[in-house]
A = this chain, B = another copy of it.
Amino acid sequence: MRIELINTGAELLVGRVLNTHQQWLCRQLADLGREVSRQVCVPDDALQIRDALRESLARSELVIITGGLGPTSDDLTRDVVAQVLRRKLVRHPATLSRIRHFFAARHRPMPAGVQVQAMIPEGAMVLVNCNGTAPGLALQTIAGKQCLILLPGPPRELRPLFLKSVVPLLRRKFPLTSPFLCHTFKTTGLGESIVEEKIAPALQPLVRNGLQLAYCARVGEVDVRLAAHGEKAASLLAQGIRRVRRLLGPVIFGTGDDSLESVLIRLLIARQKTLAVAESCTGGFLAHRLTNVPGSSAVFLGGVVAYSNQVKQDLLGVSAETLRRHGAVSEPVARAMAEGARRLLRADCALAVTGLAGPGGGTPDKPAGTAFIALSQNKGTAVLLQHSPVDRETFKFAVSQRALDLLRQALPPPLPRPGVKSKKNSKKSLLLA
């Protein structure tokens, strides 16, 4: 089954807006066992939308088109689709009353123009949009063998609508001919090639039997995705999962869409431990990541962004002598910051980071990209050294990732798994302790 995705919007082609639909929709479809063969982006121009749509329909069983369903003059998708499929636009009363209700509920007058969103190509199925006025639409063509789906452009409308209406429709309309299963491991701490070296040989026999194995590396993270089609899918996947778990052990921090911060907050809640942070080079980013997790306030107390040395002294109690002798980017300062934050915020554990993002300020001893990361607990303080000579924002991410992982690996895991040696944890997190 061939799938194509068409994104419409002039703002995408002049680069004013980042196209996040492509990644999100492709990811959703991949997890359903479907792969998009081509993605196309065209501006709000009737001829260009028409050409792209005709080409995609000529090649594919499923075409998804985003944007251009609103009420303004540059919303052309509805008209173009009607024209290409030679359908009349007809009023859809239930949608019209939904739109009226949308404005009434917000005590806002309904502009006349918005009614056009209730006009749909004859025979289209309406996919209800709970977060906006333009409905999604599904159309069948070529005697029901082909499906065209129209989705509204704003992500907060498109995403729930896709999950609620499009996923069930696809499952019904294009059932997989054989079972499909997939599983994604999220890992941190090893580079892509090392992860591959560790698992690829043991997975080779399963891959020969049809297990799909893919890696995706981002800063500080490597995803390992296993997928399998067919009668043997469940058995292949289960064997693959077991082997990857055994071989990667604590390098795996989660699955699916887990983030390291969300896993850590869950662990802290389960262990009933509170956390504080002291940040120099990450400048608040570590706290930001932790507070992005809903429910983090149960365990995350807060922290100190100690960007200047004076703040490191005044608030965190780092001594002037330590700063003078070792410099702000040093093992003793990281240690003192973590211990200071733990004391100051009365937390069970505290993470501290001090480093040099660069590009300026490096020395042969401590080049730009150097960071010290400390974890203070009641049983003592561990410090590790990291070197990430990258741009400023990537550096912040890499350092915060390592800090979060230092704490994750220091906490007892939620469930002991066979083959995971706990020694690895302590070795890693006590590198410079």
Contact = CB atoms under 8 A, between A and B. Distances in A.
Interface of A: 11-20, 22-30, 35-43, 48, 52, 55, 156, 214, 216, 218, 223, 225, 277, 279, 282-288, 290-292, 294, 296-297, 300-308, 310-311, 314-315, 344-346, 359, 391-393, 396
A301 B285 CA distance: 15
A290 B283 CA distance: 8
A218 B20 CA distance: 14
B18 A30 contact: no
A218 B15 CA distance: 13
B15 A28 contact: yes
Given A41-B39, A277-B305, A15 B19 contact: no
Contacts of A13: 26, 35-39
Given A40-B38, A302-B308, A344 B223 contact: no
B304 A305 contact: yes
A283 B288 contact: yes
Contacts of A296: 283, 307
Nearest to A19: B22
What secondary structure prevails in chain A residues at the interface with B?
A: mixed
Given A284-B303, A291-B305, 10 more contacts: A13-B36, A13-B38, A14-B36, A15-B26, A15-B28, A16-B27, A282-B291, A301-B310, A310-B346, A315-B344
20 contacts: A13-B38, A14-B26, A14-B35, A16-B27, A16-B223, A16-B225, A18-B18, A18-B22, A22-B41, A35-B43, A283-B296, A284-B287, A287-B307, A291-B396, A292-B393, A294-B392, A297-B308, A302-B305, A302-B308, A314-B345
Nearest to A287: B284
Contacts of A30: 14-15
Nearest to A3: B13
The 4 A-B pairs at the shortest CB distance, nearest first, are namely A283-B291, A15-B27, A284-B287, A15-B26
A51 to B, nearest CB: 9
Contacts of A391: 156
Contacts of A225: 16
Given A291-B284, A301-B308, A303-B284, A216 B16 contact: yes
Contacts of A20: 18
A70 to B, nearest CB: 13
A284 B294 contact: no
Contacts of A311: 301-302, 345
A277 B284 CA distance: 10
A287 B353 CA distance: 15
Contacts of A315: 302, 304, 315, 344-345
A304 B307 contact: no
Nearest to A345: B311
Contacts of A290: 283-284
A181 to B, nearest CB: 15
A242 B230 CA distance: 66
Nearest to A297: B307
Nearest to A52: B38
A393 B344 CA distance: 28
B11 A15 contact: no
B304 A300 contact: no
A288 B291 contact: no
A287 B301 contact: no
